[in-house]
Amino acid sequence: MSTSPSGPGSATQAPGREPVRRGLPRISRSARNHAPITATGLVVKVILLGLVVGIAIWAAFPLIEAEHWVGLGILAVTTAGLFYLYLSRRHIPAKYLVPGTLFLLAFQVFPVLYTASTAFTNFGDGHRGSKDDAIVAIQTASVKQIPGSAEYSLSVATKGDPATGPLVFLLSDPKTKEVSAGDAGGLRRIDASQVTVSPTGKVTAADGYTVLNFGQASVRSKEITDLVVPTSGGAVRSNGLSRAYEGKAVRAYDAGCDCIKDSESGKTWTADEKAGSFVAADGERLTQGWQVNVGLKNFSRVLTDPKISGPFFGTLAWNFAFAIGSTGLTFLLGMAIALALHSPRMKGTNLYRVLLILPYAMPSFAMLLVWRDMFNTDFGLVNNLFGLGVDWFGQTWSARLAVLLVQLWLGYPYMFLVATGALQAIPGELTEATSVDGATPWQSFRAVTLPLLLVALSPLLIASFAYNFNNANAILLTTEGGPFAPDNPTNGATDLLITYTYRLAFGAQGAEYGMAAAVSIFIFAIVATVSAISFSRTRKQEEVYS
């Protein structure tokens, strides 16, 4: 006779019957999928899905207007998929994965793809829109007043802030007394009941508009002069702050020759579809062009154009030195301090740790500005304290040294914190065993402590390298990329590729977004390659010491 255990987790079985399990009841998949929904959860779900519908409707109208049917289809399918997913009680894991995936696509994948596509175009100042946009801009910019041109009483208005809002011309025709509102999109009539017109014919008030007074208009006089309102017969331009005229375009597009003709000089500019510009026989290009695909031209310029390739490779070398120096120096100093405070003979370690992480607690942008003043040649603390007269930011190598010193001060607390955590995770028996074997403290550190530290901290060092490779704040807030050579004001001695790219994209010589995007692709490829190789070596190191 045998006895079987009995208890909460035991099971007894009678002949021909399924085992009867005691203890906590099992919840079936059907029950899990039909769990009750709380009122709060229902309200949140309705609000979020309503927000999704609102965003979808808001995004649909521009797609329909632009006839982007593929994009509209993707929007409809995505919206329907979200409704199916969150109205269904199935696919629980997907409910958590989908939002993160959508944000990844929206804020990571799409910007990268857009940047890559821009790198193959001539997108930039003078090449922002389509060919039709360029033709309209050329024609309206050439408008001149001719005898018999219609004249209007002008009031300048806006729908926003008088100092920054988009400008609108309120035009009153002295002959017909009709009032119109005009901007870059054209003219549109305003009903007489919606405006107030002075006895002199000037609009003094209009529903939905803020009329600028003389002082406000004077501040924005250049914007007023530059504003051109296209009309069927030409364009309306201002003549001072109180008068406007409808002039005729001197330059007009001729579809027969696909060219722009100047009626005054007789000169012709023919469309060059490869360059996205209208070009005359003598090589002159009109300022306004259009966006076209230029293939690998931007990448080729980076590598072969002496004006770009020279600064690019010089900046690349300094960029590597800056990233490696910033990461390596901060790691060495942070690790040395962590080792010193890790010693059991060290007293007051908590106080020291609080004091040592103060630079990490300060806002970095503010500290960068403070350090910039400290390196000032005339009244800076560094020169005054040590009795020096060094022009830190006026010479190439002193400026680079100053930047690295600032990075060392800002970055060592982070390395100190992570190194302290890694040291506390290393078993003390390992270092004790090396001491028993007769190893010196240096030999024990080199053979045991340092390899284990590198295994734990290598991913953080790789991330720190990638961050410092594109650390624009460290440069822009201290040296602003300088010092600059007299013959090259676009590339400074302390410029990183990211700051050089920024200057290409938004420089005073005109924005070159296509070229800047090409440089960004090079930066992405460099950082990705270095990171991949480093992570591969880190995995091998982990296998050795695991």
411 and 526, same domain (yes or no): yes
Assigned domain for 257 exists: no
327 and 465, same domain (yes or no): yes
Assigned domain for 441 exists: yes
474 and 359, same domain (yes or no): yes
Separation between Cα atoms, residue 493 and residue 395, nearest integer Å: 8
Contacts of 527 (CB under 8 A, 6+ apart): 466, 469, 470
Contacts of 39 (CB under 8 A, 6+ apart): none
What is the distance between the terminal CA atoms of the chain, rounded to a whole angstrom?
52
55 and 179, same domain (yes or no): no
452 and 503, same domain (yes or no): yes
Assigned domain for 418 exists: yes
Which domain range does residue 427 map to? 306-545
Q: What amino acid is encoded at 109 in this protein?
A: V
Q: What is the CATH number of the domain that holds 230?
A: 2.40.430.10
3-state secondary structure 158-202: ECCCCCCCCEEEEEECCCCCCEEEEECCEEEEECHHHEEECCCCC
Say if residues 317 and 526 touch (Cβ distance below 8 Å). no
Say if residues 499 and 87 touch (Cβ distance below 8 Å). no
466 and 502, same domain (yes or no): yes
3-state secondary structure 97-165: HHHHHHHHHHHHHHHHHHHHHHCCECCECCECCCHHHHHHHHHHHCEECCCCCEEEEEEEEECCCCCCC
Domain boundary (225, 249, 273) is at 249
52 and 200, same domain (yes or no): no
322 and 455, same domain (yes or no): yes
Assigned domain for 12 exists: no
Place of tokens 């054209």: 186
Assigned domain for 23 exists: no
pLDDT per residue, tens digit, the chain (546 aa), is 444 444 444 444 444 444 544 554 555 555 455 556 688 878 888 898 999 999 999 999 999 988 889 989 999 999 999 999 988 888 888 988 998 998 899 898 999 999 999 999 999 999 999 999 999 889 888 888 888 888 999 999 998 899 999 999 999 998 888 999 999 888 999 998 999 999 888 999 999 999 999 999 999 999 999 898 988 778 899 998 999 999 888 999 999 999 999 998 999 999 999 999 999 999 999 999 999 999 999 999 999 988 888 899 999 999 999 999 999 999 999 999 999 998 888 888 888 888 888 888 888 989 999 999 999 999 999 999 999 999 999 999 999 999 999 999 999 999 999 999 999 988 888 888 888 888 888 898 998 899 999 988 999 999 999 999 999 999 999 999 999 988 888 889 999 999 999 888 887 667 899 999 999 999 999 999 999 998 888 887 766 666
216 and 346, same domain (yes or no): no
Separation between Cα atoms, residue 517 and residue 478, nearest integer Å: 25
Element (H or E) spanning 187, and its range? strand 186-190
507 and 404, same domain (yes or no): yes
536 and 392, same domain (yes or no): yes
Query: How many structural domains comprise the chain?
Result: 3
Separation between Cα atoms, residue 18 and residue 11, nearest integer Å: 10
Separation between Cα atoms, residue 143 and residue 233, nearest integer Å: 10
Residue whose C-alpha is closest to residue 195's, from 208, 214, 213: 208
Q: What is the CATH number of the domain that holds 504?
A: 1.10.3720.10
In 386-487, beta strands by DSSP E: 484-485
Assigned domain for 508 exists: yes
Assigned domain for 18 exists: no
49 and 165, same domain (yes or no): no
Residue whose C-alpha is closest to residue 527's, from 475, 458, 452, 462: 462
Assigned domain for 52 exists: yes
- Mode of pairing for the β-strands spanning 235-238 and 229-230: antiparallel
Place of tokens 């919606």: 194
